[in-house]
Structure 1
Amino acid sequence: MKNNYLIYLISFFSGFLSLAQEIIWMRLISFAGMSVPQTFSYTLALFLLGIAVGAQIGKSICSKNVVSINTLGHIFILIAVVDLILIGLVYWYLNVLGTSILFLGLCVFVCAGIRGIIFPLIHHVGTEQAKTGAQISNVYFSNVFGSALAPILIGFIILDYFNTQQTYFLICFLTLVIGFLCLNAGVVKKVVVVLGVGVLVLVGLSERIILELSKGRWDEGKYPSQIFENKYGFIQVYDDEVVFGANVYDGKFNTDIFKNTNGIERAYLLTAIHPNAENILVIGLSTGSWVKVLSTMPNVKKITVIEINPAYIDLIKQHPIVSDLLRDNRIEFIFDDGRKWIQKNQDKKFDIVLMNTTWHWRAYASNLLSKDFLNFVSHSLNDTGVVYYNTTESLDAYYTAKSIFPYVYKHRFMVLASHEKQTLDFDSVQKNLCNLRDYLTKKNVFLGQECILATNEIMKNPLLSYKEIDFSSLGRKPEVITDDNMIVEFKYGKGL
């Protein structure tokens, strides 16, 4: 009976640690691949293939050798050593040769292959004495339970306390601990030593893998000056100004229309085209620069900001340009999925819905670009309200907006859509810009001639009606984006 409990424990950790390591590799490859949806299928396919090859090797071992719990211990230790070698090779490769999805995929295959060996051996040892249905199912259940628990424990808890690299090492050392538990001599002493070394490594090692994957993403050869990491993902900061989210450009800290390093005149367009807005919804906080611009509108009573990653607040606290947003009592920050929130709050109405949409080819982009979601947005707008979001050059996004809204306009790469006709003329834009005022300091944003100069910046890019949008560069008919077809991510996406 004692051995039964031990084999159940070993089976549990076999499944748990395998899936835990898969989550970490998935996270690394998704980051390296800029969160395109194909990274999931790519990683999963290689992992399953590796498990299948490893299981075949395990079967061969069972048929040719006497397998005991001691054997399992040696295999677990081998797995941990191989995992440590793999992460070392990844660091060397990234540092010397640069990012390679193919190389990372090869590492996934090897990692899964070596871990795939263990379960046939566990099953062989666990059912050697009693080949009953109950015993077989108990061994399987333990493994499946561990596999099911890993995504919950690692994805929702551990990654909020440890970074990706630390979690990887934690999994390696837990694998070593299980290996030593399977051995007979000096078990307690060895476990204590391994845990002690593991803690020292976890505390002492600085993050290097994500840094190497981030190198040169903004500027040749440059590392990010800061990385914020939690279970929701990564935020990289370059030169204390440029922000990347999960390894793709996300924005810059800037509200100066004359400096305009981030296309901030697009945010000022909203202040000019809907000057009487009182209730505003922003989906996606990013640097907070756009929210800061909207907060200067004279009639605003409430700005609701929906952001999935609370680390953006920590980032904003450090930047004086936007940090006073946290002291503005009109602004409410809600940490939730934007789509889910707006579905749950269809009774709330807004004058402006601004969506800081990510790149259209990234995973889950359809959640904000699809016809299905725009239906929810349409019901959340007041009669005179407008929705404004970035298409990131997806012409299908304009076509999709037109399937919901009678009036659709193009401003640079932005969609402006509403149930009423919108106009933009120099005099009204100038007048509205002159009325913008910082809520806390009560100072006007633009003074005197600055109103005219700022108006010129906005009017440089015309507001094109839907009929004026040129779809010819597509080389095909535009298509409506839906939750089901996800064409921006898959059919016409960036790919690996």
Structure 2
Amino acid sequence: MMKYFAWSISLLVGLMSLGQEMLWFRVISFMLGGAPFAFALVLFFFLVGIAYGANRGKTICTRYSNLFFAGGVVLIFAGFIDISIPFIILQISQNHAIELPLFLCFILIFFVAALKAILFPIVHHLGTNIANGKVGASVSKVYFFNIIGSTLGSLLIGGILLDYVSISSMFILIGIVCILIGSLMAVKKSVSSMITIVMLGCGCFYLVDKHTDYIFKTLYGKKQEISVNTYIENRYGVIHIVNDDKVGMKNIVLGNNIYDGMINIDPDNDINDLNRLYLLAAVHPNPKKVLVIGVSAGAWTRALSSFPTLETIDAIEINKGYIDIIKQYPVVSPILNDPKINIYIDDGRRWLKRNSDKKYDLIIMNTTYHWRSGTTNLLSQEMMKIAENSLNPDGILAFNSTRSPDTLKTAQSVFKYAYWGKLGFIYASDSMIKIDEVVAKDRLDKLILDGKPLFNEESKQRENGAYKKTLSTQLLTLDEFEKLQNLGRDLEIITDSNMITEYKYGLFGKE
């Protein structure tokens, strides 16, 4: 009975510990805006905590005879700490800049990892049968169950439950489970006590609010000039729609604490620079099939539907939470019912590889910041080749470089022609792209949205309107761009292997 109980504790502690590591990764990644080194920081403090906790567990094994009670007390204490984590972060973040909450989180990661790691030597001691001489086999079984629990924790909590339970609530639930398991260890281990603990655990799961947002609720609201319209959280992260009341900007989209667009398609007030999209209507004679990678809150896809020649728009979005955002805003919600628009919840690169037989006239990626974790998957030479394979003759790949000059060099390495446009938007094709003002005006005049011309005579005259901004676009070749910028270094080709936008020339890299 004892060894089976020790195996169970080893599995459950591993599950909660690694599951909590996934929660911490999401919190730290949010605070750092998706910086690629976020996971390394979490892993460092987590492993240091495990090492320290395991050492303390060894000491407990030598000093206490009732290891069940000692281990139970440690788990109960760890559970109360876990429950308090969202409230601690909330209180600190309300009154301090991001540096202090970050430092506090690292201390908490170390502390909670250490507390759970104390159980590791204890369960090995309880689950090891020394009498029969099979010490190695006994230790390996305890370790085996811990590995199973750790794997399940990452998959179950990080990959499944966070679609239904918020990060704040998950911390609380893990804490409750720790307290229940600790209580089971401290009391007599009978069948009735185990059944009671399981029933209490199930009851707590249903009674605890699964959508609390203690950790993130005041991150923007605490600033007087920022107000939050909409908040959505799932396993892909956190989405905020906010207003910057100080400058009068509304419906700003923030994905995991970083600007991800704006819910605006007003051609008279082109604050989100949709002119970069309209340029495609001005330079491509007859686009019929378009692929959009990264729908976000839908403004670009909605504006794209004004192209009169389009027959099909395939739009890929990895985070299904954005669909719920789009439903709430009438300015973009028509894309959900437009028969021309097909929205798929998937990874853009994976979708392209799975649908390599489909060909498009335009592929549009309003890519996030080049230094964020995983952005290499969209900016690398390998991705450019995949996109090129999915383009029809004279097709255009248009994507946001977020002003990373190496993306232009990378596009030029795959396509015959590549150009640097407004705000670093890249246009690449195997055919030359030219802006003929007469032709461009004629094509822009034909854009129709909701049965009306997108640009009326008044909007054509506005200096900050999309019409004039589109026509004033200058497209620079790689040679022209390098001469104009005088970067002081040779541009490099981004690959899946070197990931230079994330590391070498990333957030803290030298541009």
Query: Which of 360, 368, 384 is the equivalent residue of 1:374?
Result: 384
Q: Does 1:349 align with 2:359?
A: yes
Pair 1:433–1:451, CA change in 2 (3 A): farther
Query: Does structure 2 retain, via aligned residues, the 8 Å contact 1:4–1:126?
Result: yes
Query: Does structure 2 retain, via aligned residues, the 8 Å contact 1:256–1:264?
Result: no
Q: Does 1:238 align with 2:233?
A: no
Counterpart mapping for 1:270-419 below 5 A: 270-412=280-422, 413-419=424-430
Whole-Å Cα distance in 2 between the matches of residues 214 and 62 of structure 1? 47
Deviations 1:423-461 (A, max 9, x none): 1122111100111112xx422222345456554221233
Query: Does structure 2 retain, via aligned residues, the 8 Å contact 1:433–1:451?
Result: no
Pair 1:14–1:193, CA change in 2 (3 A): closer
Partner-residue secondary structure (3-state), 1:383: strand
Whole-Å Cα distance in 1 between the matches of residues 129 and 84 of structure 2? 33
Aligned to 2:454: 445
Whole-Å Cα distance in 1 between the matches of residues 186 and 47 of structure 2? 29
Q: Name the amino acid aligned to 2:123.
A: I
Partner-residue secondary structure (3-state), 1:300: coil
Query: Does structure 2 retain, via aligned residues, the 8 Å contact 1:354–1:388?
Result: yes
Whole-Å Cα distance in 2 between the matches of residues 475 and 224 of structure 1? 42
Aligned to 2:246: none
Partner-residue secondary structure (3-state), 1:254: coil
Aligned to 1:207: 213
Query: Which of 490, 493, 496 is the equivalent residue of 2:506?
Result: 493
Partner-residue secondary structure (3-state), 2:231: strand
Q: Name the amino acid aligned to 2:175.
A: C
Pair 1:213–1:429, CA change in 2 (3 A): same
Whole-Å Cα distance in 2 between the matches of residues 402 and 15 of structure 1? 48
Partner-residue secondary structure (3-state), 2:452: coil
Q: Name the amino acid aligned to 1:238.
A: V
How far the C-alpha of 1:495 sits from its partner, in A, is: 4.6
Query: Does structure 2 retain, via aligned residues, the 8 Å contact 1:225–1:238?
Result: yes
Counterpart mapping for 1:220-239 below 5 A: 222-239=226-243
Query: Does structure 2 retain, via aligned residues, the 8 Å contact 1:346–1:379?
Result: yes
How far the C-alpha of 1:73 sits from its partner, in A, is: 1.3
Whole-Å Cα distance in 1 between the matches of residues 164 and 508 of structure 2? 31
Query: Does structure 2 retain, via aligned residues, the 8 Å contact 1:165–1:209?
Result: yes
Q: Does 1:436 align with 2:447?
A: yes
Of 474-483 and 59-68, deviating more is 59-68
Aligned to 2:184: 181
Q: Does 1:458 align with 2:495?
A: no
Whole-Å Cα distance in 1 between the matches of residues 226 and 374 of structure 2? 29
How far the C-alpha of 1:228 sits from its partner, in A, is: 0.9
Whole-Å Cα distance in 2 between the matches of residues 120 and 53 of structure 1? 12
Q: Name the amino acid aligned to 1:418.
A: S
Query: Does structure 1 retain, via aligned residues, the 8 Å contact 2:45–2:109?
Result: yes
Query: Does structure 2 retain, via aligned residues, the 8 Å contact 1:211–1:224?
Result: no
Q: Name the amino acid aligned to 1:56.
A: N
Whole-Å Cα distance in 2 between the matches of residues 128 and 119 of structure 1? 16
The runs of 5 or more residues in structure 1 that have no matched partner are none
Of 28-37 and 445-454, deviating more is 445-454
Aligned to 2:28: 29
Query: Does structure 2 retain, via aligned residues, the 8 Å contact 1:54–1:115?
Result: yes
Whole-Å Cα distance in 1 between the matches of residues 156 and 479 of structure 2? 52
Whole-Å Cα distance in 2 between the matches of residues 379 and 456 of structure 1? 33
Query: Does structure 2 retain, via aligned residues, the 8 Å contact 1:371–1:403?
Result: yes
Pair 1:475–1:214, CA change in 2 (3 A): farther
Q: Does 1:158 align with 2:161?
A: yes
Pair 1:10–1:17, CA change in 2 (3 A): same
Partner-residue secondary structure (3-state), 1:212: coil
Query: Does structure 1 retain, via aligned residues, the 8 Å contact 2:275–2:467?
Result: no
Counterpart mapping for 1:251-270 below 5 A: 251-270=261-280
How far the C-alpha of 1:401 sits from its partner, in A, is: 0.9
Of 81-90 and 477-486, deviating more is 81-90
Whole-Å Cα distance in 2 between the matches of residues 233 and 299 of structure 1? 36
TM-score by length of 1: 0.93
Whole-Å Cα distance in 2 between the matches of residues 432 and 460 of structure 1? 15
Whole-Å Cα distance in 2 between the matches of residues 452 and 273 of structure 1? 21
Measured on the aligned residues, the alpha-carbon RMSD in Å equals 2.2
Whole-Å Cα distance in 1 between the matches of residues 3 and 508 of structure 2? 47
Pair 1:383–1:190, CA change in 2 (3 A): closer
How far the C-alpha of 1:25 sits from its partner, in A, is: 0.7
Whole-Å Cα distance in 1 between the matches of residues 453 and 254 of structure 2? 31
Partner-residue secondary structure (3-state), 2:238: strand
Whole-Å Cα distance in 2 between the matches of residues 223 and 143 of structure 1? 44
Partner-residue secondary structure (3-state), 1:211: coil
Whole-Å Cα distance in 1 between the matches of residues 41 and 231 of structure 2? 26
How far the C-alpha of 1:71 sits from its partner, in A, is: 2.1
Query: Does structure 2 retain, via aligned residues, the 8 Å contact 1:358–1:365?
Result: yes
The runs of 5 or more residues in structure 2 that have no matched partner are 244-249
Whole-Å Cα distance in 2 between the matches of residues 446 and 458 of structure 1? 12
How far the C-alpha of 1:109 sits from its partner, in A, is: 1.0
Q: Does 1:89 align with 2:98?
A: no
Query: Does structure 2 retain, via aligned residues, the 8 Å contact 1:170–1:202?
Result: no
Deviations 1:458-480 (A, max 9, x none): 12332223322146453311111
Query: Does structure 2 retain, via aligned residues, the 8 Å contact 1:272–1:429?
Result: yes
Give me the identity figure in percent: 36
